[in-house]
């Protein structure tokens, strides 16, 4: 009985998560290679959205330049791959000392994971010890995204400038050209990482640390009075989120087969904000569903509209834009946010009714 | 309020359902697109007086041949996005060439079906749509792309699934790929003649400005080598970020660093940045002493800029004003299909797209029933085509084209007059 009540009281979004993962697990069975490839990319983006949800949805730190961390992870793999295959544009005989780790296959994996973490640590140290918060945090991260994009374009010696880098190996560790899993095999690699990241997030937000993070979001000053050090918690979550974003970038580059400056710029940073906002912040499911829905409809609308007629092709963005406006205006809490709100108000009503019933009974018992 | 919420939720659910439904119906909707364009082809055919008979033949062939006898190719251009203006002419030229080929009976009796995709000037989208074309539509070849980033990004896909791409844009010639055929000029077919001409006819002083892209950086680097070789004078150099639109400091610098003796401003700036530079340069009244020369100047640019472009130099392998029978035929049918105004803004990339489709059609015809990538690519070797710019030839070693270098001077009506052209076609040297 207690287990059953616990299951019944489980928030509705956990059921959606379950359904989503079952859907993703069976997806390659009934879909062709093209859609498996598209979905692999979307799943990598889902990890990225989860990492932003930890930071924005749970801790209230709205990073408008999260793509910097995503792109940093991706570029590590890109440079490692270009070096391993001696791409034509590489004009140096030796990797510089700060990139030397990329010559090892496992080194590239670790670099893609930890460099974004280090960047987050570095930025975080300055910002959180300087008590920069709210809109200023957002603005500084936004500027960082712009700077990073220019930086990557400028450093063409290592990043091949605005042309970007091709990554022909589709494996987890190896960067050599000949190593290549099929789209289907790599799909399950990405899915495994997505599931892992999701479970990590789910576990984290329900620990004490997770509660403190949500406390920071609600009222940071009060938490300070209670004896917590918000800066340390914020630094921790920024680093963790950065590493997850780096992981997402690494997987995305492998799926896509290339990386260029758009993966590190303001455009992607804005997109991920939109995905999370549309899905709903602070419940993990919103980040997953928002990304899936928007990325899927983007791909679909583009191909449907250019299928109808080439002159018609440009209007799919209009349709998507109108839909986004509608969602933001009508349900600012996001799709999953609304569902949760409804469930909570229903549970609240039920509870109230139960108390009322009890009171009526007790009145009957002792007249 | 809750009613609104329910409405929104239903809407979203509806869109998702539509999307899922279209998942399976995707291929059929593209076929519908192809049929409409095939209808357009007969209309174009009737414009050309001599091909009206061929047009009838087409419809007959179209009704009798089965689907298996058609050849499918993909077209990928930015119909939206930052470079859509430049790519409109490429897209139009591709359609024009395909319609002409289909109206003339297709390839060995087989009609070409084409599927158009928009990559919105985004390299990741380019990869997506190219994979879509290869895996879903199973095209035999792809024509298109403009930005270097998008070309580089799709290369692994081409290699993995073995599909050839015909890339019509002039580019820096840095990393040729075996699965790509290049029908645009590379720097050795432009700059090698541009710099000496400017030194002889304008000034020996050069000021280099470029957008910080691989393309402009490569061109400026090659310009420096050429200047050192010929004893030119490098006055200054400037690389600006691609979204720069305020050039007041650059213009001030030019004024300071160059004397009264005059100077060539060798400016290779992208899109909006280029427009801004020409306009501000003109407004600053510097046109008397200094002359802008640029790789990016073309007819679409010169007509858009008006006065600011007059008297500046351009250098590509094709100008609208070239007087050849092939060019006047091309411009005439272009005007018939898309209007006179559009035909005035036909640019080098548009022309090279026209060449790209025609060369591809020849290669496909030679390949016969074997449409594997290796056969198609091998059949490009030594192909020649009587293009609007003159006869071009595909170099079997590099799969770039032999073409002439031309230098043009912008006239007051926005057209570009050819002031110099090489006697013979030049061998492409992409990696140098």
A366 falls in which pLDDT band (50, 70, 90)?
A: low
Chain A residues with CB under 8 Å of B4 CB are 330
CB contact under 8 A, B36 and A330: no
Residues 6+ apart with CB under 8 A from A117: A239, A240, A242, A243, A246
pLDDT band at residue B38 using 50, 70 and 90 as cut-offs: very low
**E strand or H helix that includes residue B419:** strand B416-421
Residue A89 pLDDT greater than 90, yes or no = no
pLDDT in the model for residue B362: 93
**Residue of B82, B120, B124, B216 best to disrupt the A interface, most CBs of A under 10 A:** B124
User: From the list A88, A256, A307, which residue is nearest B127 (CB)?
Assistant: A256
Range B198-227 average pLDDT? 86
Q: Measured in Å, how far apart are chain B's first and last C-alpha atoms? A: 66
Ordered by start, the domain boundaries in chain A are 30-262
pLDDT at residue B238 is higher than 80 = yes
* pLDDT at B25 (0 to 100): 35
A273-298 per-position pLDDT tens digit: 999 999 999 999 999 999 999 999 88
Residue A35: HSE in the Cβ half-sphere, 13 Å Cα cutoff: 20
Give the per-residue pLDDT at B303: 84
Q: Give the pLDDT of residue B149.
A: 84
Closest residue in chain A to residue B148, using alpha carbons only: A163
Q: Which CATH class for the B188-321+407-421 domain? A: alpha beta
Query: Which residue, chain included where needed, has tokens 């004078």?
Result: B233
Strand B141-144 relative to strand B112-118, pairing: unpaired
Q: Flag if B29 and A307 touch (Cβ within 8 Å).
A: yes
- Nearest neighbour of A160 by CB, restricted to B7, B127, B214: B214
pLDDT digit string (tens) for A210-259? 999 999 999 999 999 999 999 999 999 999 999 999 999 999 999 988 89
- What mean pLDDT do residues B126-140 have? 92
Q: Does B128 touch chain A (CB under 8 A)?
A: yes
Which residues of chain A from 136 to 155 reach within 8 Å of chain B, CB to CB? 150, 153-154
Total residue length of chain A: 367
Specify which residues B264 forms β-bridges with.
Answer: B206, B291
Averaged pLDDT for residues A117-135: 90
Q: Do domains B25-185+326-402 and B188-321+407-421 have the same CATH topology?
A: yes
Distance from CA of A304 to the nearest CA of B (A): 7
Neighbouring residues of A148: CB distance < 8 A, sequence distance ≥ 6: A65, A67, A68, A71, A72, A264, A265
**Mean pLDDT (chain B, rounded):** 81
> Who wins on pLDDT, B72 or A321?
B72
Q: What is the pLDDT of residues A52-83, one digit of tens each?
A: 999 999 999 999 999 999 999 999 999 999 89
Q: Which CATH architecture has domain B25-185+326-402?
A: 3-Layer(aba) Sandwich (3.40)
pLDDT 10s digits, B48-76 = 333 333 333 333 333 333 345 789 999 99
Predicted confidence band of residue B43 (pLDDT cuts 50, 70, 90): very low
CA distances from residue A187 to A31, A41, A183 in whole angstroms, order as listed: 12, 9, 6
Nearest to A154 among B30, B124, B212 (CB): B212
Q: Classify A63 as helix, strand or coil.
A: coil
> Structure tokens of B102?
């289909």
Verify whether the Cβ–Cβ distance A296 to B19 is below 8 Å. yes
Q: Which residues of A touch B212 (CB under 8 A)?
A: 153-154, 161-162
Query: Could you tell me whether strands A258-259 and A165-166 are parallel, antiparallel, or unpaired per DSSP bridges?
Result: antiparallel
A78, A164, A342: which to substitute to probe chain B, counting the most B Cβ within 10 Å? Answer: A164
pLDDT at A203: 95
Say if CB B236 and CB B252 are below 8 A apart: no
**What is the distance between the alpha carbons of residues B48 and B332, in angstroms, rounded to a whole number?**
10
Q: What is the pLDDT of residues B165-177, one digit of tens each?
A: 999 998 887 778 8
Per residue in B292-350, pLDDT (tens digit) is: 999 888 888 888 888 888 999 999 889 988 988 999 999 999 999 998 888 888 989 99
Sole residue written with tokens 């019944």: A8
Work out the number of other CB atoms within 10 angstroms of the CB of residue B25. Answer: 12
The residues spanned by each domain of chain B are: 25-185+326-402, 188-321+407-421
Q: Give which of A32, A9, A40 is closest to A254, Cα–Cα.
A: A40
- Global ipTM: 0.79
The pLDDT of residue B60: 33
Between chain A and chain B, how many beta carbons pairs sit less than 8 Å apart? 159
Residue B310, chain A, CB below 8 Å: the answer is no
Give B259-292 pLDDT, tens digit per residue.
667 789 999 887 778 888 999 988 888 877 889 9
């Amino acid at each position: 009985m207690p287990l059953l009540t616990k299951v019944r009281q489980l928030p509705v979004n956990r059921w959606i998560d379950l359904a989503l993962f079952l859907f993703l697990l069976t997806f390659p069975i009934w879909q062709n290679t093209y859609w498996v490839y598209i979905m692999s990319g979307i799943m990598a983006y889902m990890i990225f959205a989860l990492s932003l949800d930890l930071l924005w949805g749970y801790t209230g730190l709205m990073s408008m330049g999260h793509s910097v961390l995503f792109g940093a992870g991706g570029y590590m793999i890109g440079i490692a791959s270009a070096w391993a295959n001696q791409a034509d544009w590489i004009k140096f005989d030796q990797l510089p000392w700060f990139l030397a780790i990329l010559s090892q296959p496992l080194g590239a994996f670790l670099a893609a994971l930890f460099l974004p973490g280090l960047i987050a640590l570095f930025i975080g140290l300055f910002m959180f010890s300087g008590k920069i918060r709210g809109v200023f945090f957002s603005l500084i991260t936004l500027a960082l995204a712009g700077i990073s994009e220019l930086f990557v374009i400028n450093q063409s010696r290592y990043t091949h400038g605005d042309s970007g880098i091709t990554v022909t190996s589709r494996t987890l560790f190896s960067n050599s050209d000949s190593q290549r899993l099929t789209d289907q095999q790599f799909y399950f690699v990405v899915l495994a990482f997505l599931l892992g990241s999701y479970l990590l997030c789910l576990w984290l937000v329900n620990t004490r640390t997770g509660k403190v993070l949500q406390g920071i979001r609600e009222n940071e000053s009060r938490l300070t009075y209670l004896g917590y050090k918000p800066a340390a918690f914020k630094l921790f979550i920024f680093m963790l989120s950065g590493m997850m974003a780096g992981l997402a970038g690494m997987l995305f580059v492998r799926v896509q087969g290339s990386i260029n400056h758009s993966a590190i710029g303001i455009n992607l940073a804005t997109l991920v904000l939109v995905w999370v906002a549309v899905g709903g912040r602070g419940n993990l499911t919103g980040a997953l569903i928002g990304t899936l829905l928007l990325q899927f409809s983007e791909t679909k609308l583009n191909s449907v509209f250019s299928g109808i007629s080439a002159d018609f092709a440009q209007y799919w963005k209009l349709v998507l834009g109108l839909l986004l406006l509608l969602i933001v205006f009508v349900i600012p809490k996001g799709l999953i946010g609304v569902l949760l709100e409804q469930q909570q108000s229903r549970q609240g009503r039920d509870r109230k009714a139960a108390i009322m019933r009890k009171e009526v009974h007790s009145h009957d018992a002792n007249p | 309020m809750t009613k609104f919420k329910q409405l929104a939720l239903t809407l979203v659910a509806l869109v998702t359902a539509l999307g899922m439904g279209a998942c399976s119906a995707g291929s059929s909707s593209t076929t519908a697109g192809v049929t409409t364009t095939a209808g357009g082809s007969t209309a174009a055919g009737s414009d050309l007086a001599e091909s009206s008979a061929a047009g009838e033949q087409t419809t007959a062939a179209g009704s009798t041949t089965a689907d298996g006898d058609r050849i499918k190719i993909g077209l990928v251009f930015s119909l939206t996005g930052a470079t859509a203006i430049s790519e409109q002419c490429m897209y139009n030229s591709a359609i024009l060439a395909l319609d002409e080929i289909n109206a003339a009976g297709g390839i060995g009796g087989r009609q070409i079906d084409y599927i158009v995709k928009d990559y919105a000037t985004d390299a990741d989208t380019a990869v997506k749509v190219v994979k879509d074309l290869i895996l879903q539509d199973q095209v035999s070849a792809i024509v298109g792309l403009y930005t270097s980033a998008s070309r580089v990004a799709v290369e692994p896909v081409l290699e993995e699934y073995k599909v050839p791409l015909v890339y019509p844009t002039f580019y820096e010639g840095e990393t040729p790929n075996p699965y790509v055929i290049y029908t645009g000029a590379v720097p050795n077919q432009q700059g090698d003649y541009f710099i000496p001409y400017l030194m002889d006819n304008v000034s020996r002083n050069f000021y280099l400005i470029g957008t910080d892209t691989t393309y402009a950086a490569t061109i400026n680097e090659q310009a420096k080598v050429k200047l050192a070789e010929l004893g030119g004078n490098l006055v200054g150099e400037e690389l600006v970020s691609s979204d720069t639109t305020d050039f007041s400091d650059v213009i001030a610098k030019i004024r300071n660093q160059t004397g009264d003796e005059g100077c060539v401003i060798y400016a290779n700036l992208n899109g909006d940045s280029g427009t801004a530079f020409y306009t501000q340069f003109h407004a600053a009244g510097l046109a008397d002493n200094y002359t802008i020369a640029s790789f990016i100047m073309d007819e679409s640019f010169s007509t858009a800029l008006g006065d600011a472009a007059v008297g500046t130099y351009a250098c590509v392998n094709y100008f609208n004003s070239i007087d050849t029978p092939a060019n006047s035929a091309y411009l005439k049918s272009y005007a018939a299909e898309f209007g006179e105004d559009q035909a005035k803004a036909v640019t080098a990339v548009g022309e090279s797209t026209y060449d790209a489709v025609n060369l591809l059609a020849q290669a496909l015809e030679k390949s016969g029933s074997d449409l594997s990538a290796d056969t198609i690519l091998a059949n490009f070797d030594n192909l020649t085509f009587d293009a609007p710019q003159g006869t071009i030839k595909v170099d079997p070693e590099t799969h770039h084209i032999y073409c002439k270098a031309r230098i043009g001077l912008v006239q007051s009506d926005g057209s570009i007059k050819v002031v110099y052209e090489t006697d013979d076609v030049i061998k492409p040297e992409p990696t140098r």
